[in-house]
Amino acid sequence: MNIAFFGTPPFTTDFLDALVAGGYSPTLIVTGPDRPVGRGMVKTAPIPKIWAESHTVKVMQPEKLDDAFFEELSQTKWELFVVVAYGKIIPERVITFPSYGTINVHYSLLPKYRGATPTESAILNGDEITGVTIQQMVYKLDAGDILASREVIVDPIDTTLTLRNKLNVEALTLLPQTIAKIFDGTIIHTIQDESAVSTCGKFTKEMGELNLTDSGVTNDRKFRAYTGSIGTYFFQNGTRIKITKAHLEGEQFVIDEVIPENGKRMPYSQYQN
């Protein structure tokens, strides 16, 4: 059974381990190219590549999923492609190439929050429940049939980082279970309800600016949603101040720790004094 795995961030190796444990070891890892990292701009391999080399699995690192990539890919008969946070648009001819097509792990209860930032959007909108969906990929943004899904509670103190960890815990068991049903022919395809579709896009750094006169609930949601990505900040007396710790007391947004522009991390109370 030939399975190819498409994924780039470090956490995707947890899914590789789950596939191996479930008896679905991939025979190919498709991941991002080596990139310069750190102050020294040292060319560094993505973690899935390191995982692949340690497990003697073939690796492909295309800059583009072009004709050359497809030509090499098509030298093998593939049963299934699995995509988790790969980071590139996958052409339709690649999506449909394996016998069972391509499946994707998406971090919302589709058709809600199709797009790049479903976890952040759940927090921004104050959702109490979100979830993870395994979908059959099609060449349209997150529009494929739902194969499996599982709900996850959004706690009032969850950040994008903590919520994504909770989602991954569920996805790590849901993915192998879904693959088992695909291969034994018991999988059920559920068509998405197009009337219930919502979408979410990428964020810009400017979206992280807080107006401290806004409601505390709104600012708290932004702080938690943008933690781990663009972050949040505000301006005080012309100085840009990054927020590193904060919490909600009742409906008041309380800033605990900051990094002033060109300054060091410190308690916000110390900065004010």
pLDDT at 64 over 90: yes
The residues near 18 (Cβ < 8 Å, ≥ 6 apart) are 172, 173, 175, 176
pLDDT of 43 reads 87
pLDDT of 272 reads 87
Domains and CATH numbers, the chain: 1-100 (3.40.50.170), 105-202 (3.40.50.170), 205-272 (3.10.25.10)
Q: Please state, in angstroms and as integers, the Cα–Cα distance from residue 119 to each residue in 14, 82, 102, following that order.
A: 19, 20, 22
If we measure between CA atoms, which residue out of 203, 215, 267 comes closest to residue 241? 267
pLDDT of 273 reads 82
Angle at 166 between CA 184 and CA 106, to 5 degrees: 50
pLDDT at 1 over 90: no
Cα Rg, the chain, nearest whole Å = 21
pLDDT of 112 reads 98
pLDDT of 59 reads 97
pLDDT at 39 over 90: no
Average predicted confidence (pLDDT) for the chain: 96
The strand pairing partners of 105, in sequence order, are 134
pLDDT at 40 over 90: no
pLDDT tens figures, 132-186: 999 999 999 999 999 999 999 999 999 999 999 999 999 999 999 999 999 999 9
Using a pLDDT cut of 70, give the percent of the chain over it: 100
Q: Is residue 120 within 8 Å of residue 160, measured between CB atoms?
A: yes
If we measure between CA atoms, which residue out of 9, 51, 45, 14 comes closest to residue 29? 51
